[in-house]
């Protein structure tokens, strides 16, 4: 189809987000994801929601094909779900590697040698991310939960330093970040205060109120991003995360809308 140069179309869209949520241990990533409208929870091996969080689920994904089947069902079946939660994206990575290895006739992703297996895995990753984009196009939000790792970052403009990041192979992490509308790093909100300890000495200690904050703008200490007009960080109380996020990003409508 040729581009109509005479027509003026808006670039604004109201599609719901594909988002990545990761953070420190026990901060409530799954609880935050469960607050998104009408969630459908797809765990990978070893993952489960915390006590008190009840969501419809098809059961655990044991293969790459299981994930694609769930995406296909959400796109074609009659249902009332508006958000897919994949817990976790690093758990899905193991299934991607297994599918890639099977396609190549290998026992392990490492058997391809010289990192070639991870390059080949781009094919499966693009298929998966394409399916998630199709969900977004249909009106379903996607939340990818991720575990956290601390890694060395070699900045071209400063000395190397450590920062929080998503626990994924660097190629997969880049693809996921490119696809996502936001990557949020969740941490407890705390303030540093100084205390006199005598002899004209002061020590700093952290105090917290139990509030959480989801960082949506990258800092030296962590990876984050947002394609929405969000502030650098959003402070929220436990159980009220989506209430705050929904002020800045479109809500999912579901495929029946």
Which alpha helices (H) appear in the chain, and where do they start and end? 29-34, 64-76, 89-104, 116-120, 122-138, 170-179, 241-245
Asked if residue 78 is part of any domain, the answer here is yes
Taking the C-alpha atoms of residue 33 and residue 38, their distance in angstroms, rounded to an integer, is: 10
Identify the DSSP state of 112.
G
Q: Taking residues 74-92, what's their average pLDDT?
A: 96
Q: What is the CATH number of the domain that holds 22?
A: 3.40.50
Q: What is the predicted pLDDT for the residue at 10? A: 56
Tokens of 191: 């303030």
Domain range enclosing 79 = 18-45+57-183
- Do the beta carbons of residue 247 and residue 241 sit within 8 Å? no
For residues 40 and 191, the model is more confident at 40
- Report the percent of the chain where pLDDT is more than 70: 84
Asked if residue 204 is part of any domain, the answer here is no
Among candidate residues 15, 22, 38, the one with its CA nearest the CA of residue 177: 22
Asked if residue 213 is part of any domain, the answer here is no
Q: Taking residues 27-52, what's their average pLDDT?
A: 94
With bands split at pLDDT 50, 70 and 90, how would you rate the model's confidence at 41? very high
From the centroid of its chain, how far is CA 133? 14
For the cut 50, the answer to whether the pLDDT of residue 193 exceeds it is no
Asked if residue 3 is part of any domain, the answer here is no
For residue 92, report the phi and psi dihedrals to the nearest 5 degrees.
Answer: -65, -30
Q: What is the predicted pLDDT for the residue at 26? A: 86
For the cut 70, the answer to whether the pLDDT of residue 101 exceeds it is yes
For the cut 80, the answer to whether the pLDDT of residue 2 exceeds it is no
Tokens of 239: 């159980």
Q: What is the predicted pLDDT for the residue at 207? A: 47
For the cut 90, the answer to whether the pLDDT of residue 122 exceeds it is yes
Asked if residue 232 is part of any domain, the answer here is no
Is 99 strand, coil or helix? helix
For residues 199 and 63, the model is more confident at 63
Among candidate residues 91, 42, 90, the one with its CA nearest the CA of residue 68: 42
Who contacts 118 (Cβ-Cβ below 8 Å, separation ≥6)?
109, 169, 171, 172
Asked if residue 214 is part of any domain, the answer here is no
For the cut 80, the answer to whether the pLDDT of residue 201 exceeds it is no
For residues 87 and 198, the model is more confident at 87
Q: What is the predicted pLDDT for the residue at 199? A: 55
- Cα–Cα separations (whole angstroms), residue 108 to 112, 118, 189: 8, 11, 41
Tokens of 48: 């489960």
Asked if residue 76 is part of any domain, the answer here is yes
Asked if residue 51 is part of any domain, the answer here is no
Overall domain count for the chain: 1
Taking the C-alpha atoms of residue 116 and residue 229, their distance in angstroms, rounded to an integer, is: 38
For residues 157 and 193, the model is more confident at 157
- Cα–Cα separations (whole angstroms), residue 236 to 17, 32, 222, 223, 232: 19, 10, 19, 19, 13
């Amino acid at each position: 189809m040729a581009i109509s140069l005479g027509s003026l179309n808006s670039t604004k869209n109201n599609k719901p987000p594909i988002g990545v949520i990761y953070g420190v241990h026990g901060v409530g990533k799954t609880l935050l994801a469960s607050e998104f409208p009408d969630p459908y929870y797809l765990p990978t091996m070893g993952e489960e929601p915390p006590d008190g969080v009840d969501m419809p689920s098809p059961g655990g994904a044991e293969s790459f094909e299981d994930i694609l089947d769930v995406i296909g069902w959400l796109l074609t079946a009659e249902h009332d779900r508006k958000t897919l939660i994949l817990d976790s994206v690093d758990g899905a990575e193991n299934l991607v590697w297994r599918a890639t290895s099977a396609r190549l006739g290998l026992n392990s992703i490492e058997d391809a040698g010289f990192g070639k297996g991870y390059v080949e895995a781009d094919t499966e990753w693009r298929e998966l991310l394409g399916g998630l984009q199709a969900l977004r196009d249909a009106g379903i939000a996607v939340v990818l939960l991720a575990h956290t790792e601390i890694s060395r970052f070699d900045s071209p403009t400063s000395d190397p330093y450590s920062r929080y990041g998503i626990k994924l192979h660097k190629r997969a992490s880049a693809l996921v970040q490119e696809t996502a509308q936001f990557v949020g790093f969740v941490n407890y909100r705390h303030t540093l205060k100084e205390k006199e300890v005598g002899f004209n000495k002061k020590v700093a200690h952290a105090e917290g109120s139990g509030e959480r904050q989801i960082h949506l703008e990258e800092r030296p200490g962590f990876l984050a991003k947002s394609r929405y007009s969000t502030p650098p960080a959003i402070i929220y109380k436990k159980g009220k995360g989506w209430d705050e996020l929904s002020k800045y990003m479109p809500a999912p409508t579901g495929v029946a809308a």
